[in-house]
Structure 1
Amino acid sequence: MFKTERLVLRAYTTADLQTILRIANNPLVQRTLISEHVVPRSERFAVKLEEIANQALLYVVLEAVDRGGEVIGAASLAVDSVKNRDVNLGIGLLPDVWNKGYGTEATRFLVDYAFRDLGVHRVSLNVLENNKGAIEMYKKIGFVEEGRRRKANWLDGKWHDSVYMGILEEDWLKPSEN
């Protein structure tokens, strides 16, 4: 279990499955996380969630201390390339906690943990261009846009780009205000 100022980042357990499924089933969350159709996810989707949790290098449930320990989301670091020491960051939060700093707090912790404790060289992520708040937050932390898949996601009757971002160990660990 890890603690930040307002969060507890703890190991996922099967007791969390229904809560995480509820978060993943939220249409607003789906619009920011996946490039598939926004549809209600059945219990079969729970199998996929379990696979994600079990295959990730680190998969944590996010509890907000200042909200009575409420589970507000989940985050993961998944190995993209062992040889190149590259991990993919993923994070999903309940919409009622968006723009309150929880995502920034969790992401900063996970990036720092990846570099300082896991010996990672780079942290990568993919974010849909319509998720402007997340892109702004990632840039604030130090991620840079590294590329785009143009018109990769059909949403609300128009095409949106998929944005690839990354941050390198040397950029994170240099003296700054991370």
Structure 2
Amino acid sequence: MFTTERLLLRAYTAADLVTILRIANNPLVQRTLISEHVVPRSERFAAKLEEIANGALLYVVLEAIDRDGEVIGAASLTVASTKNWDIELGIGLLPDVWNKGYGAEATRFLVDYAFKDLGVHRVSLGVLENNKGAIEMYKKIGFVEEGRRRKANWLDGVWHDSIYMGILDEDWLRPTAN
């Protein structure tokens, strides 16, 4: 279990599945996390969530301390490449806590943890172009755009790019990246 100023980052338990599934089933959340159709997720998806949670190097449930311990999301670090010391970051939050600093707080903690405690060389992530708030937050933390798949996601009658971002240990060590 880890804590930040306003968050408790704790281990996932089977009892969290209903809450995490509720977050994943939120249409606004789906539009920012996946490039699939926005549809209600079924029991099969619940099994996929359990697989993700149990297969990640670190999968944490995010509780907001200043909201009486309300579960507001989840985040993960998964091994993208063992050989290249590359970790992939994933995070999803309930829409009512967007733009309140929780995502940045959790992301900063996880990036710090990846570099300080796991000794990785890079932290990578993918973000959909329509998730402008997340992109700006990642940039403030020190992530840089490394590539994009042009017009890779059809949403609301418009094509959007999938953006790939990363932060290296040497970037993280610079004071401006933290």
User: Scaled by the length of structure 1, what TM-score is found?
Assistant: 0.99
Shift of 1:175: 3.3
**Given the alignment of the two structures, is residue 125 of structure 1 paired with residue 122 of structure 2, yes or no?**
no
Task: Detail structure 1 runs of 4+ shifted over 4 Å in the superposition.
Answer: none
- Quote the offset at 1:55 in angstroms: 0.7
The answer as to 2:57 corresponding to 1:57 is yes
Residue 163 of structure 1: aligned partner? 163
The separation in 2 between residues aligned to 1:118 and 1:28, in whole angstroms, is: 32
Which residue does 1:16 correspond to in 2? 16
Amino acid at match of 2:9: L
Gaps (5+ residues) in structure 1? none
Distance 1:130 1:142 in 2: 20
RMSD: 0.7
User: What is the distance in 2 between the residues matched to 1:56 and 1:153?
Assistant: 25
Provide TM-score, normalisation by structure 2.
0.99
Residues 147-170 of structure 1: per-residue CA shift (max 9 Å, x gap): 000000000001000000000001
Q: Kindly indicate whether the alpha-carbon contact (under 8 Å) linking 2:142 and 2:177 is maintained by their aligned counterparts in 1.
A: no
Deviation at 1:177, TM superposition (A): 6.0
Give CA deviations for 1:21-64 in whole Å, capped at 9, x if unaligned: 00000000000000000000012110000000011000000000
Q: Distance in 2 between matches of 1:50 and 1:7?
A: 22
Residue 35 of structure 2 corresponds to 35
Paired residue total: 178
Cα distance in 2 for residues equivalent to 1:176 and 1:45: 39
What runs of 5+ residues in structure 2 fail to find an aligned partner? Answer: none
**SS of equivalent residue, structure 2 residue 35:** coil
For 1:165, give the aligned amino acid: M
